[in-house]
Amino acid sequence: MLTLATDLDALTRFGRALADPIRCRLLLALHEAPAHPSDLAEALGISRTRLSNHLACLRDCGLVVAVPEGRRTRYELADERLGHALEDLRTAVLAVEADKTCVDAAEKHCC
């Protein structure tokens, strides 16, 4: 059980980041490789303004960092362990989804 406020805060920030599909796609893209905002906006098919708002959220959550490169800025995950966490979470959710051992899942809407 989590007892420290910092543990709860960290999970809350991670959850807030994952609560939006665009932020999820951004995190997955940055897990693949660092990128510049213009490349991210094009890859995700969203406007630079919208992308900027999502990147600001991810920076505020402490999940991504902006790295100056001359006149441009490159974004990357704040820590490589975040990439591992994303991959672990993704595979765990897919594994649980595939495991339909709960016979009452349809009635209880739980699994």
Q: Rounded distance, CA 91 to CA 8, Å?
A: 23
pTM of this prediction exceeds 0.85: no
Identify the CA nearest to 67 among candidates 104, 30, 103, 23. 30
pLDDT for residue 7 is more than 90: no
Q: Which pLDDT tens digit goes with each residue over 73-109?
A: 999 999 999 999 999 998 888 887 776 666 666 677 6
Give the mean pLDDT of the chain: 88
More confident residue, 6 or 1: 6
* Structural element, H or E, at residue 30: helix 21-32
Residue indicated by tokens 């693949």: 32
pLDDT of residue 67: 97
